[in-house]
Amino acid sequence: MQQPIKIICPHCNQPSDSMRRSQVWLLVFVVIGYWMQRSTITGCSACLRQKIVSNGLINILTANVFWPFLILPMSLYQYYRTYQEGHDETVLAEAIAISKISYNSKLGKL
């Protein structure tokens, strides 16, 4: 049986067999307008859950009336995704590409 590929989490530096990537929003809503910042976070499931929860809690204050309709459902979906096993395909592809570059540079092929 083949061992799962482990990737080092950039947040906790622990090897993980389920590296995920997720986008979180910071929405600031005031009566006359709004401002939004999107961030992409890559990490192991535990780190991603922590970021999703902290981001969701911050948005309670900043997104106020939009929080239950926009931020909460999105955060619940992203939180659910952290329980799926395996790496995100994009994260795995990047890790393989980086390891190939690193391997080739050690051999002097670059």
Residues of this chain that interact with Zn ion (CB under 5 A) are 9, 11-12, 43-44, 47
Instruction: Quote the DSSP letter at residue 32.
Output: T
CB of 48 to Zn ion, least distance (A): 8
Residue 28 or 46: the one with the smaller Cβ distance to Zn ion is 46
Distance from first CA to last CA of the chain, Å, rounded? 34
Nearer CB in complex with Zn ion: 8/36:
8
| Cβ neighbours of residue 59 closer than 8 Å, sequence gap 6 or more | 25, 26, 27, 67, 71, 75
Shortest distance in whole angstroms from residue 69 CB to Zn ion = 30
Taking the least distance from each CB to Zn ion, the nearer of 47 and 52 is 47
Residue 16 token pair:
């993980």
108, burial (CB in 10 Å: exposed 0-12, middle 13-18, buried 19+): exposed
Beta carbon nearer to Zn ion, 45 or 75: 45
Could you tell me the smallest distance in angstroms from the CB atom of residue 50 to Zn ion? Answer: 8
| Least distance (Å) between residue 106 CB and Zn ion | 26
